[in-house]
Amino acid sequence: MFELRLGDDIDDFCIKCKRITNHVICSLMDGKAAKVRCRSCYSEHDYRNEQAPPTKKELKKAAEAAAAASQADPPVAD
């Protein structure tokens, strides 16, 4: 394991750039990145462990699937 330090570069998902970009560690918690700043747009945010947050489309799809499932018993798929 590498020991992270303030100012280190780290990959993370930037919500503004909508992709994984280089980030600089702004704050550490328990030896892990807590806050990072995007090297491309300089926006600061919590470290997301390189995970993209669900998009509105994905949230809508999940809501629709949940609604459809609660409406009626779906036909059994073979």
Q: Contact residues for Zn ion (CB under 5 A)?
A: 14, 16-17, 38, 40-41
Residue among 19 and 61 whose Cβ is closer to Zn ion: 19
Give the nearer residue to Zn ion in terms of CB position, either 22 or 28: 22
**Closer residue to Zn ion (CB): 18 or 32:** 18
* Helix and strand totals (H; E) in the chain: 1, 4
- To Zn ion, the closest distance from the beta carbon of 2 in angstroms equals 23
Edge-to-edge strand list for the sheet holding 19-29: 9-14, 19-29, 32-38, 44-46
Residue written as tokens 């799809």?
61
